Amino acid sequence: MERKRLFVGGQLHGTELPVGHTRVTVLQHRLPEDFPTDPLRIEEYRTLRLTRDTPEGKETKRFRVLRGIKRSKALRMTLRERDRFWAAA
């Protein structure tokens, strides 16, 4: 069974994609307002374990987080959208 991870930050924020066994995902893209001759935009996501407190105790889950976003900020971003990021699998 292929593992999927939710992405935090960047163009893939909130998207769940299969990630295989790599620790880093690189996305190259252009925005709709970019010209075809503009250089590709590059976003690099790394795997991070984030832990939140619940009434039952601590819950830890792995996410792909945009490089440059600190763990504490990534956790806050996921907690703002609990239903999307922390729903039971």
User: Tens of pLDDT along the chain (89 residues)?
Assistant: 457 889 999 888 998 888 777 777 888 888 889 898 988 888 999 999 999 999 999 999 999 999 999 999 999 999 999 999 998 65
- Residue 61 sits at φ, ψ, to 5 deg, of -145, 150
Range of the domain at 78: 4-85
Number of domains in the chain: 1
Q: What is the layout of strands, in order, in the sheet containing 16-18?
A: 16-18, 4-8, 57-66, 41-54, 24-29
Residue 16 pLDDT: 87
* Amino acid in the structure at residue 31: L
Residue 69 pLDDT: 97
Tokens 């990534």 locate to 74
Residue 25 pLDDT: 82
Q: What does pTM read for this prediction?
A: 0.82
Report the 3 state secondary structure along 14-68: CCEEECCCCCEEEEEECCCCCCCCCCCEEEEEEEEEEEEEECCEEEEEEEEEECC
Q: Which of 29, 27, 49, 25 is nearest to 40 (CA)?
A: 29
Residue 88 pLDDT: 65
Helix (H, G, I), strand (E, B) or coil at 6: strand
Residue 20 pLDDT: 72
